[in-house]
Amino acid sequence: MSSVLRSAISDQGPLHQGRYRPISSHLAIAPPVSVVIPAMNEAENLPYVFKTLPEWIHEVVLVDGNSTDDTVQVARDLWPGVKVVGQQGKGKGDALITGFEACTGDIIVMVDADGSADGQEIVSYVSALVSGADFAKGSRFANGGGTSDMTPIRKLGNRVLCAIVNAKFGARYTDLCYGYNAFWRHCLDKIELDCTGFEVETLMNIRVVKAGLKVQEIPSHEYLRIHGASNLRAVRDGLRVLKVILQERSNRRALRSRPRAVALNSGQGELS
Ligand SMILES: Nc1nc2c(ncn2[C@@H]2O[C@H](COP(=O)(O)OP(=O)(O)OP(=O)(O)O)[C@@H](O)[C@H]2O)c(=O)[nH]1
Ligand SMILES: [Mg+2]
């Protein structure tokens, strides 16, 4: 029995054959996995997104941002049983918070709806979580990761903001503003998300450090958005991210022991 499988079993109690689902040739897991997809006018991209999702997923929660195209119908056609939830407010952060509340799985994976994320990578995130990580954080800049979607200005902004977070919060992240992440549901109680926009990933990355959660970076490749236009505006949203960093620095939440994070295959070693 592989050590990863043993770790999944020891975390989850005694092995009951029927409860465990194989998710790769080396790993079977018991915890149900929910995938949350924030989507605003992504009907044309959803076929590419759903095509890559593994069939062993427990549920897909699609958070519709009042789309004016066929996003909801296309999702229902592609994934019978998809849970569609509307959002009260606006923005990606608001959508994710809404989606997390609707999840029933023990593990939650965040996947963008623009075709930029490969669902086949979910197994890497889940493997890290059942092996002991609390938060599996995608990174386009860990060895083995990459991006086909970032402009030079976005790369520069992400790098500078990531360096600030590392310096201010004692993390050793290689990426900051990336939407492909996964975590155990219990993390939500410790990070208490309260934001609306694209700063949501940054807020999560900072609060998991502050909560002393175990973070593991997962090398990930971000593909080009397939159809449609980006909702992100580099300067506007970069400033929102900076504001969150400064707010988190100035508020008095305890900076407990820093997370131990390992970039898989990156040779980086532990994060703290
Ligand atoms: N429900 C909902 N989804 C949103 C909202 N804003 C963005 N999204 C979704 O969040 C995901 C990320 O948004 P993108 O526009 O792709 O932002 P990005 O990935 O930074 O930029 P590009 O990939 O370059 O376009 C996509 O699936 C969007 O449809 C929103 O207000 N509500
Ligand atoms: Mg995108």
Q: Are 59 and 31 in contact (CB under 8 A)?
A: no
CB atoms within 10 A of CB 253: 12
Q: Which ligand is nearest to the CA of 230?
A: 1
The confidence score (pLDDT) of residue 217 equals 98
Q: How far apart are CA 188 and CA 220, in angstroms?
A: 23
What does 17-61 look like in DSSP terms, one character per residue?
GGG-EE-SSS-EE-S-EEEEEEESS-TTTHHHHHHHS-TT-SEEE
Tens of pLDDT, residues 156-199: 999 999 999 999 999 999 999 999 999 999 999 999 999 999 99
The confidence score (pLDDT) of residue 232 equals 86
Distance 230 CA to ligand 1 centre (A): 7
Residue 22 vs residue 4, higher pLDDT: 22
The confidence score (pLDDT) of residue 159 equals 97
Q: Which ligand is nearest to the CA of 45?
A: 1
What does the pLDDT average to over 110-134? 98
The confidence score (pLDDT) of residue 165 equals 98
**Whose CA is closest to atom 8 on ligand 1?**
92
Q: Are 109 and 187 in contact (CB under 8 A)?
A: no
The confidence score (pLDDT) of residue 265 equals 39
Tens of pLDDT, residues 33-64: 999 999 999 999 999 999 999 999 999 999 99
What does the pLDDT average to over 144-159? 95
Which pTM value belongs to this model? Answer: 0.89
Tens of pLDDT, residues 226-270: 999 889 888 999 999 999 999 999 885 555 544 444 444 333 333
Provide the pLDDT confidence category of residue 6 given band limits of 50, 70 and 90.
very low
Using only the alpha carbons of the chain, give its radius of gyration.
18
Q: What atom of ligand 1 comes closest to residue 90's alpha carbon?
A: 31
Distance 114 CA to ligand 2 centre (A): 5
Q: How far apart are CA 113 and CA 48, in angstroms?
A: 9
The confidence score (pLDDT) of residue 252 equals 56
Dihedral in degrees, nearest 10, Cα atoms 166, 167, 170, 176: -10
Whether the per-residue pLDDT at 73 is higher than 50: the answer is yes
- The CA distances from residue 59 to 39, 73, 80, 103, in Å, are 16, 17, 10, 8
Q: Are 260 and 215 in contact (CB under 8 A)?
A: yes
The confidence score (pLDDT) of residue 251 equals 80
Q: Which residues pair with 29 in a beta bridge?
A: 21
Whether the per-residue pLDDT at 219 is higher than 90: the answer is yes
Around ligand 1, the residues with Cβ closer than 6 Å are 38-40, 42, 63-65, 87, 90-92, 95, 112-114, 116, 149, 179, 225, 230-232
Provide the pLDDT confidence category of residue 18 given band limits of 50, 70 and 90.
low
- Kindly state the helix (H) or strand (E) to which residue 63 belongs, with its residue range: strand 59-64
